[in-house]
Amino acid sequence: MTENKAVSLRIHLKNLNALYQSYMPYLLQGGLFFPSQKLLPLGTVVNVECQLPNDLQALNIKGKVVWMNPTSSTNQGPAGFGVEFDKEKGPQVRATIEHLLKEKLC
């Protein structure tokens, strides 16, 4: 049986507002929303290269697609999908993001 290769994603969050709009704090390990007209199936394993505001070096973290908002959805908000961070680096990345957003998450 052939194992599926992880999909590579890149996101550059230029400022705190962009980070706040993308961050998904209700996911156990934390995660990010990726606006996209092309949705990845639920459960897709991804490698995320994420550049946070004011960071020169991108974070590399694994995750998986756990949420979708299709283009035909009657829900408000843009089309795209949510990625939950993995258990290995997720808690550290979540803590870093929540430290940056501490004033907005209160």
pLDDT tens, residue by residue, 26-57: 999 999 999 998 889 999 999 999 999 988 88
Q: Is 62 a residue whose pLDDT tops 90? A: yes
Domains of the chain: 7-100 (2.40.10.220)
Within 8 A by CB and 6+ apart from 103, the residues are none
Residue in 82, 63, 79, 62 with CA at minimum distance from that of residue 71: 79
pLDDT above 70 for 72: no
- Beta strand 45-51 with 7-12 is parallel
In this predicted structure, the answer to whether residue 93 has a pLDDT above a threshold of 80 is yes
Looking up tokens 């459960």, which residue turns up? 43
Cα angle, residue 97 at apex, residues 93 and 27 outer, rounded to 5°: 70
Residue 88 structure tokens: 């290995």
The structure's pTM equals: 0.87
Which tokens is 47 given?
Answer: 């490698």
